[in-house]
Structure 1
Amino acid sequence: MAENEMRRRLMMESARDLEVDLGNVGMDDQPEPVDDFEEDQQEFDWNRCLHDQMFVFQEHELERILDIVITNMTPQRSPAQKPVPANMIFLSARYAHYHSSHELLERLLVSAMDCINDVVEKCQWDMTILAFWISNATLLLHYLKKDPGLFEATAEFQAQLAELINEIFILIVRDAERRLDKVLDVAMLEHETIPGFEDITFQNEWKLFKRKTQVKEEPLEKRFRPPSPKQRAKPAPRNVTSLLSSTLFVLDLYDIHSVITAQIISQLIYWIGAELFNRIMSNRKYLARTKAMQIRMNISILEDWARTNNRQSEHFEGGEMRASGDTTMDAARRHLAPVIQLLQWLQCFSSLNGDDMEALIITLQQLKRLSPQQLIHPVNHYRPEVGEKGLPKSAMKYLVNLQKEAALKRERRRSGIPSPQKSGQDSTPATP
C-alpha cells in the first residue's frame, strides 16, 4: 500500500511539474494479470522467421496500420502496450523482408519514420510522448540489430533511428531545461535558507527608504521554527529537485534504457551547475559572502537529491562484469564542482591575510576547477559588507601572475612551442 501511494504521488507530481495529461502517466492503469499462456510461449527465434513470429499485412493496409500504432497511439504505462509500435514495425518488417519484397520493406520503414517524426514534432513539449517514442525507437533499433537478415537490409533505417533517438534526447533535455529555467533564479539564487541575513549592509550602497522605527528582533525559537504553509509555497530548491524527480519518474515509467536516463540526468545537472555559475558571475548582487553562503546551502539540497537518487547505468564494455559510467552522485560532484568552488572562494578570500601567502596557495589548490580569470572576476566585482576587507594586493598580484602564465601556456600550445621549464622547478609562478 505504501509503495502504491508513493507511486501515485510521484505520478501526480510529474503530471503537475511537466504539465502532461494524467492519462499519459498511467493514473488509471491497473496492473495486468500474468497470463499462463504467455509464460508457455516458445522463445523468439532471431535466426529464422517463423510464421507466428511476424505480422502479415497487405500494402494497401499499411497506412491504416501506421495510424493505429503510431499516429493515434496514446502512451499508457501497461507493460503490454508500451512496446506495441516497436513490436508491430519489427514484426511487419520481418514479413516484408523474408516473405514479400524489398520494396514493401522500404515503404514500411520510410512511412513509419515519417509518422514517428510527425508525432515527435507535434508533441515536442510533451515529455511523456517523447519518453514513449525514445523507448520504442531504442527497442526497435535493438530488434533490427539482433535479427541477422534485417540487420543487413535496414542499415540506412538504423542510422535514421539512431539520429531520431538523439533528436528526442535533445528535446527531452530542452523541455526539462525550459521548466527548470523558470524557477532557477528564485529557487536557487534568491531563496534564503539561512535566516537573519536580510539586514546586512554593504559598503557604498545606500538604502533610499529607511525604516522609521526599529523592528524588534525575532526570538531565536521563532526564527528557527518550521516554515509556515505560506513560506513553503514560495519557490525553493525543492522546486528544482521536484522537476528532476518528475523527469526521472517519466523516464522510468517508459523503461528508457538506463544509459540514456543517466545521460539525461547528467546533462540536466550540468546545465544547472553551468547556469548557476554564469548567473552568479554576471550579477554583482550574488558576489557577496553572505549570498554565497545562502546559495551554497541551496545547492546542498541538490546534492542530497543526487545522493537519494544515486544510480549506476547498466553499461558494460569489453566483456566486463561490472558496469562502467558515472553514478548520479559522480555526475553531480563533477558538474557542480565549479559553482561550489566559486561559492567557497566568495566566502573565504576576504579573510585571507596579505602576509600569509601559504594560506592563499593552499586555498587555490582546493579550487582547481576555477581558472585564474574566474578567480579574479569575483574579486574585482565583489560586494563587501560594511567593515569587510577585500583580497590583499599581494594576493591579487599573485592571481594576475597566474593569469599571465596561463595565457602564455595557451599561446604556446596554439603555436606548437614547448613550454620552457627549468630542471627541478615547477611552472607555478613565484610568490610575490
Structure 2
Amino acid sequence: MQHEITRLTSENLDLRESIDKQTDQIRKLKKLLKVYAKKLKDGEAAEIAAELEGEENAAASGDAIATVIHRERSYMGMLEYKKEDEGALIKNLILDLKPKISTGHIPGLPAYILFMCVRHTDYVNDDEKVKSLLTSTINGIKKVVKRHSDDLERITMWLANTCRLLHTLKQYSGEKQFQAENTSKQTEQSLRNFDLSEYRQVFSDLAVWNYQALMKLMEELIQNSIVPAILEHEAIAGLTASKPSGLRGRASSNAKEMEDGKDSQISLDALMRVQKYKSLDALMRVLNSYMRIVKQHAVDPELVKQIFRQLFYYLCAGALNNLLLRKDMCNWSKGMQIRYNLSHLEQWLRDNSLHEFGAQAALEPIIQASQLLQARKTDSDVESICDMCSKLTTAQIVKILNIYTPVDEFEERVPIAFIRKIQARLKTRDSQQVSSTAGTASSTTLLLDTKYSYPVTFPFNPSSVALETISVPDQLHLGFLVRH
C-alpha cells in the first residue's frame, strides 16, 4: 500500500509539472496573439515574439539580466521589388486579383501598393524601372478589363483603383495645388526625382475607357428591363380594364390562365406577360445591386453621381423611344401607370441622395411625356401643355398627340386643330431657345440617341490614408515586396 501511495504521489507531481509548463506556454501564446492582433506589420511580430521568448527564459532562470527593448519600426511608405519580379507583381495584383479579396481590405489597396512601388523607384531614381512599371500597370488594367468584359464587379474595382492611382499621383506630385489637404508627412513623401504629369493624363484616359466599359455593361444588363418596368408594369389596380379593344382579350386570358391553373403547360408568352407585374421590382433590385457594388469598391462619390446620371438617361431614352413607337401606350391610363412607375425611380434617387446631381433631370423627358398623356387637351390648355413639356422636342410632342388613342367612350382623339395650335406655339418657343433633351437635340428630333454620353470627369479626391501604415496582405501573394 505504501508503495502504491508513493507511485501515485510521484505521478501527481509529474502531472502538476506538466500542467505548469502548459500554462506557461498558453500565457506565451496569448501574448503573441495580442502582438499579432495589434501590430499587423511585416517583420515586427516575429521580432517581438523573440523578445517575449527572451523575457520568459530570463524569468524562468531567475537571472536578473537586462533585456533589449524593441523599438517600433518606422516606415517610409515605400515598397521595393526586383526588376525580375515586375511580371509577378502585375499578375498577382492586377490580372489575378478577385473583387472579393479586394473588398476585404482598405479601399484602393492595389492602387496604393502600385504607388508605393513607384515611390521606391523615385527614391532610388530609376527612371527605366518606373517607366516599365507604369506601362505594365496600364497594359495590365486594360487586359483584365477586356478579359472580364462581362464582370461588373471587376470592371468597377479597376475603375475605382485607376481613379485612386490618378489621385495619388497628383497628391504626391509635389505640386502646391494638390497639397492643400495633405498632412506634413504626406507632403514630405512627395516624389523627388520624377515628374509623372504625362502619365497622369494617360491614367485619366484609362479611367475614361474603364468608365465607358462599365456603362456599356450596365446598359446591356438593364436594357431588357426598361420597357417591362417603366411602360408595361401595371401597379395601379383598376386601370388595366380600360385597355383599347383588341389588346384586352389575350392579356386577360393569359392572366386568367395563370390564376385558374387550367393549362398546366403555360406558354412562355403567357409567363412573360404575367412576369411584367414583377418587372419594376426587378429593375429596382438591379439598381440596388449597382449601388452596392460601387460602394463596396469605394468609387469616388462624384463619379457615382455621373454613373447614375448616365444610367438614368439611358432608362429615359429607352422608355421614351418605345413610347413614341407604340400606339397602345399612348392613352390616359397608361400615362398614369407610367408616371407611377417613374415615381419609384425618383424615390430611389432621393433615397440614395442622387436626385440633385443630374439623374433626376435625365428622367424629365419621359416624365413629361407621361404627364402629357394625362393632361387635358382643350384650346385653353395649349399654353400650359407647351410650358409643361419643356424637355420634349416639338416632334416628340406632336407625335404623342397624333398617336394618342382613347381607351373608353368618354375620351376622344386629339383634334387636328388642337395639334396645329400646339405646333404654332412650339414654333414660337423654338425660335426663342434651342430645344434640347440631351444637349444635342433639335426641335425636329423624334427619338433620343441611346448612344449619347455625358462627358465624364474625375475631380481630384485626395486620400487621408498614410502610406507608412499600409502593409501587404498575404492573400495577394506579394511576398517578394520589401517594405521600407
| Structure 2 length-normalised TM | 0.62
Q: Distance in 2 between the 1:190 and 1:211 partners?
A: 14
Q: Which residue is 1:346 aligned to?
A: 373
1:165 aligned to which of 207, 230, 236: 207
Question: Does the Cα contact within 8 Å between 1:372 and 1:403 map onto a contact in 2?
Answer: yes
Check if 1:136 corresponds to 2:174: no
1:376 aligned to which of 398, 403, 412: 398
Question: Does the Cα contact within 8 Å between 1:144 and 1:150 map onto a contact in 2?
Answer: no
Q: Which residue is 2:96 aligned to?
A: 72
1:35 deviates by 5.4
Q: Which runs of 5+ in 1 are unaligned?
A: 1-32, 40-49, 219-229, 311-326, 412-432
1:241 aligned to which of 279, 284, 289: 284
Check if 1:258 corresponds to 2:282: no
1:81 deviates by 5.8
2:363 aligned to which of 316, 336, 340: 336
Of 70-79 and 246-255, the range deviating more from structure 2: 70-79
1:55 aligned to which of 79, 96, 120: 79
User: Equivalent pairs: percent with the same residue?
Assistant: 21
Q: For each residue in 1:130-159, what CA deviation from the matched residue of structure 2 results, as whole angstroms up to 9, or x when unmatched?
A: 121112111211221122237952222211
- Over 3 Å counting, the alpha-carbon distance change for 1:338 and 1:234 in structure 2 is closer
**More relative contact order in 1 or in 2 (CA 8 Å, sep 6+)?**
2
Q: Distance in 2 between the 1:263 and 1:300 partners?
A: 21
Question: Does the Cα contact within 8 Å between 1:237 and 1:302 map onto a contact in 2?
Answer: no
1:103 deviates by 1.0
SS at match of 1:153: coil
- Over 3 Å counting, the alpha-carbon distance change for 1:58 and 1:406 in structure 2 is same
1:110 aligned to which of 132, 135, 145: 135
Q: Distance in 1 between the 2:199 and 2:304 partners?
A: 24
SS at match of 2:240: coil
Q: Distance in 2 between the 1:162 and 1:243 partners?
A: 28
Q: Which amino acid aligns with 2:324?
A: M
Check if 1:283 corresponds to 2:310: no
Question: Does the Cα contact within 8 Å between 1:192 and 1:294 map onto a contact in 2?
Answer: yes
Q: Distance in 1 between the 2:165 and 2:329 partners?
A: 48
1:200 deviates by 2.6
2:113 aligned to which of 70, 88, 98: 88
| Superposed CA RMSD | 3.3
Of 76-85 and 167-176, the range deviating more from structure 2: 76-85
1:402 aligned to which of 398, 422, 425: 425
Q: For each residue in 1:15-50, what CA deviation from the matched residue of structure 2 results, as whole angstroms up to 9, or x when unmatched?
A: xxxxxxxxxxxxxxxxxx9954479xxxxxxxxxx9
Q: Which residue is 2:412 aligned to?
A: 389
Q: Distance in 2 between the 1:341 and 1:399 partners?
A: 15
Q: Distance in 2 between the 1:140 and 1:366 partners?
A: 45
- Over 3 Å counting, the alpha-carbon distance change for 1:390 and 1:328 in structure 2 is same
Q: Distance in 2 between the 1:245 and 1:206 partners?
A: 33
Q: Which residue is 1:296 aligned to?
A: 339
1:84 deviates by 3.4
Question: Does the Cα contact within 8 Å between 1:287 and 1:381 map onto a contact in 2?
Answer: yes
Q: For each residue in 1:306-359, what CA deviation from the matched residue of structure 2 results, as whole angstroms up to 9, or x when unmatched?
A: 12222xxxxxxxxxxxxxxxx43553431222111111111124xx334xx2x3
Q: For each residue in 1:154-181, what CA deviation from the matched residue of structure 2 results, as whole angstroms up to 9, or x when unmatched?
A: 2222111111111111222221111111
- Over 3 Å counting, the alpha-carbon distance change for 1:150 and 1:127 in structure 2 is farther
Q: Which residue is 2:242 aligned to?
A: 200
Q: Distance in 2 between the 1:390 and 1:192 partners?
A: 23
1:360 aligned to which of 379, 382, 390: 382
- Over 3 Å counting, the alpha-carbon distance change for 1:150 and 1:236 in structure 2 is farther
Q: Distance in 1 between the 2:127 and 2:168 partners?
A: 18
Question: Does the Cα contact within 8 Å between 2:233 and 2:337 map onto a contact in 1?
Answer: yes
Q: Distance in 2 between the 1:87 and 1:191 partners?
A: 46
Q: Which amino acid aligns with 1:337?
A: E
Q: Which residue is 1:14 aligned to?
A: none
1:90 deviates by 0.9
Q: For each residue in 1:103-140, what CA deviation from the matched residue of structure 2 results, as whole angstroms up to 9, or x when unmatched?
A: 11111111121111111111122111112111211121
Question: Does the Cα contact within 8 Å between 2:227 and 2:318 map onto a contact in 1?
Answer: no
Q: Which residue is 1:321 aligned to?
A: none
Count of aligned positions = 332
Check if 1:177 corresponds to 2:202: no
Q: Distance in 2 between the 1:338 and 1:133 partners?
A: 33
Q: Which runs of 5+ in 2 are unaligned?
A: 1-34, 42-73, 175-190, 260-272, 435-484
Question: Does the Cα contact within 8 Å between 2:229 and 2:276 map onto a contact in 1?
Answer: no
Q: Which amino acid aligns with 2:215?
A: V
Q: Distance in 2 between the 1:154 and 1:62 partners?
A: 19
- Over 3 Å counting, the alpha-carbon distance change for 1:299 and 1:51 in structure 2 is closer
Q: Distance in 2 between the 1:126 and 1:308 partners?
A: 26
Q: Distance in 2 between the 1:210 and 1:330 partners?
A: 39
Q: Which amino acid aligns with 1:193?
A: A
Q: Distance in 1 between the 2:118 and 2:79 partners?
A: 8
Question: Does the Cα contact within 8 Å between 1:77 and 1:253 map onto a contact in 2?
Answer: no
SS at match of 2:79: coil
Question: Does the Cα contact within 8 Å between 2:229 and 2:280 map onto a contact in 1?
Answer: yes
- Over 3 Å counting, the alpha-carbon distance change for 1:301 and 1:136 in structure 2 is same
SS at match of 2:234: coil
Of 234-243 and 105-114, the range deviating more from structure 2: 234-243
